[in-house]
Amino acid sequence: MIDDAVKARMELLRGWLGRRLAPDALAWVDEQTTRIADAPAGLPLARALGLAPRRVGRALLQLDGSEMAQAQAVRPGLDASDWTLDQAARILFALASTAAGEEQFAARLDAILRSGEIGEQIALFRGLPLYPAPQRLLPLAGEGIRSAMQPVYEAVAHRSPYPAENFSEAMWNQMVVKALFIGSTLAPIQGLDDRRNADLARMLVDYAHERWAASRDVKPELWRCVGPFATSEDDFADLLRVFSSGNDAERYAAALALSECPTPDALVLLESAPDLWRDIRNAKLTWEKLA
């Protein structure tokens, strides 16, 4: 049986598709959804997932303001701003298969993610915030953030409330460090500031030192997770180095990190650049704007 929360989420996705698909494509989506709900452990799900791009297309949903507001009402934190039609359809089909029960759904999702092509993986990982029993799906999310394929990693990590709500601190830290390691970005990670922690800051500083030792650049946004925990002389020296000798983006990032640094010398350093310090205080320079 599909629970009421999942039904509301299915109605949300079906509504988005209904406003964008031709009648024959929408009829196909409705038919597949019914078949999957009637046989959630059978073949209809795999078939529908495979056919979705061809039957509904890969165009962006391009949600309008009212649709985004509706998404927040149904599932706070849901960000489908860069979803495509086939991804929405695939997630709808996955939700229909929850009729099999939570344990069976988790097992089936695991099997599909292990064998599915990359497009299926991206879509199904993007659906994580919508599935029932989110804690059951943590092992699958963990596989996603360990993926060597950046789009798969980002399907879990970016624009999703799932990691911030469900990951342990160790799992969260692994996800953040992995973003920098594979050349992804931190800005789209929801809850990034709220879940910063001292262990993560230390891991990132160590990573920065490794990059410097190899004469490689360090992404400026790394310092976003360091500033509040830069309490030692060595930590302050790192921020001073970036502030004093970095390019504009690095200097701005160091200044933002210093603005959250508990070390008294941080304020002294910021006051040596009054224009920059004023922009931070007036919110003209923020991490979001820097990103």
Q: How far, in Å, CA of 288 to CA of 291, rounded?
A: 5
Give the residue ranges of DSSP H helices in 75-182: 85-96, 102-115, 118-126, 138-145, 150-157, 162-166, 169-181
- Looking at residue 291, its pLDDT comes to 87
Task: Write out the DSSP string of 4-52.
Answer: HHHHHHHHHHHHHHHTTS-HHHHHHHHHHHHHHHHSTTSSHHHHHHHHH
Q: How far, in Å, CA of 283 to CA of 18, rounded?
A: 40
pLDDT digits (tens, 9 = 90+) for 108-167: 999 999 998 999 999 999 999 999 999 999 999 999 999 999 999 999 999 999 999 999
Chain-centroid distance of CA 238 in Å reads 28
Q: How far, in Å, CA of 90 to CA of 56, rounded?
A: 10
- Looking at residue 88, its pLDDT comes to 98
- Looking at residue 33, its pLDDT comes to 98
pLDDT digits (tens, 9 = 90+) for 223-246: 999 999 999 999 999 999 999 998
CB of 285 closer than 8 Å to CB of 260: no
- Looking at residue 7, its pLDDT comes to 97
Residue whose structure tokens are 């070390």: 263
10-residue block means of pLDDT along the chain (291 residues)? 94 98 98 96 94 98 97 98 98 97 95 94 98 97 96 98 98 98 96 98 97 96 97 94 94 97 94 96 95 87
CB-based contacts of 283, cutoff 8 Å, min separation 6: none
